[in-house]
Structure 1
């Protein structure tokens, strides 16, 4: 019989937990009985999210901080252990884009910051979480990549490069952990109705151009992403690791 898809009793860390995808994932996890450590930059948003979850009978705690802070991953793992007794799942969701400019016009500091937020931060959380998961002999890691990392994206060079790095890192880590009970996969969303659409550089023209490339003809919803993340985080996923799962409404041709 297949393993259950339930997340009941599982302990998860979710970065970027107050954004559209992060909040939908946190709510999806606790609805299924998971305990969640929610990380976000904004304390007020964290207080609101955790408050809503706990008032609804869910189990969650918040930790505010910048994912580029090298000490934050260890603090998050320690909080998961102190609050809930361990760690089973890491969802590397935090990320952001920058202005729409040609690659040769990108400022070096913008390049470094984009890679730090979208790639290096995921590596740092992996570095903190994996020894704990290996010791337990079980774990699930879901890294958020992007369709931009699969196919490139004009005028979003740093973001696309970082997300391509997430994909390569996921494939590498999947191979390294393949016999240790820890499964690692990535998701590659295209246009999702999340906070990214609210960025000042994300104009109506850019949105229309991207929307035209989606055969389903609509923007994806954060809750749809959360369902995929929940499956990839569940005990039911037993023979897929180092893979990239598409969330593009049919846009992907790779």
Structure 2
């Protein structure tokens, strides 16, 4: 099986994805930002896994993460760029420049730099899977603000471009865009009201996002696609 680097693996969707891919026999590198203890605990529970960490606002961090994976496990064959950053909801005129820059650095630039680092090796070996974890906000604008929505929307264009370059070499690039997933990132008091907005009548589970990511990883014919997972909220 393959070596998978999953950023933001210390909790939520990233953790569920690490567990799912490990269960399918892949060797996992659990990426983390501030939650080192959780990522190391996860890695300790999975066969052959390691934890690799760093601040994705630093443009040098993506290369360091890949270097650490290569040194500890071998070449990255699956990249799940899941780590993300949000903010309180803001109108356009309320968004500070520093916050705009931070969200784009973590949500978009880090994904670009990770893909840029691993793609040549994937092409050379004739196999690779790149999955960017976006948000339905990339399609609708969402409720956080233009900085969050634009940082997520950029992932879709990035996947489109990579897929055209890499598809003939056995490398796929896709986006999974979940919304209203039950996790500690959703305010506890708003969950019932949010669930009522969805045709399925409930919030999504992180395991369901992980199921979809695993299916995307397993399918070598699927590329250049943006798949929305939101309980029927937004037609795509």
> What's the TM-score, normalizing by structure 1?
0.87
8 Å Cα contact 2:29-2:43 kept in structure 1: no
How far off is 1:216 after superposition?
0.5
2:197 matched to which residue of 1?
213
8 Å Cα contact 2:52-2:69 kept in structure 1: no
Runs of 4+ in 1 over 6 A off after TM superposition: none
Looking at structure 1, the residues matched to 202 and 52 of structure 2 have their Cα atoms a distance apart, in angstroms, of 34
- Greater CA deviation, 67-76 or 136-145? 67-76
How far off is 1:239 after superposition?
2.0
Looking at structure 1, the residues matched to 58 and 129 of structure 2 have their Cα atoms a distance apart, in angstroms, of 23
Query: Is 2:107 aligned against 1:122?
Result: no
2:28 matched to which residue of 1?
36
Residues 170-229 of structure 1: per-residue CA shift (max 9 Å, x gap): 1121112121211000001011112321xxxx4735x45543331101111111111111
8 Å Cα contact 1:37-1:76 kept in structure 2: no
Query: Is 2:207 aligned against 1:223?
Result: yes
Select which of 199, 224, 232 maps to 1:242: 224
Q: How many residues matched?
A: 235
- CA-based RMSD of the aligned residues comes to 1.6
How far off is 1:167 after superposition?
1.1
Select which of 41, 47, 53 maps to 1:64: 53
2:16 matched to which residue of 1?
24
Select which of 207, 210, 232 maps to 2:216: 232
Structure 1 residues 233 and 78, CA gap change in structure 2 (3 angstroms)? same
1:184 matched to which residue of 2?
173
Structure 1 residues 22 and 154, CA gap change in structure 2 (3 angstroms)? closer
Unaligned runs of 5+ in 2: none
How far off is 1:85 after superposition?
2.8
Unaligned runs of 5+ in 1: 1-8
8 Å Cα contact 1:103-1:155 kept in structure 2: no
Residues 28-79 of structure 1: per-residue CA shift (max 9 Å, x gap): 11111111111101221222211232xxxx2210112112222222222223
1:101 is paired with a residue whose SS is coil
Q: Which has the higher contact order (CA 8 A, sep 6+)?
A: 1
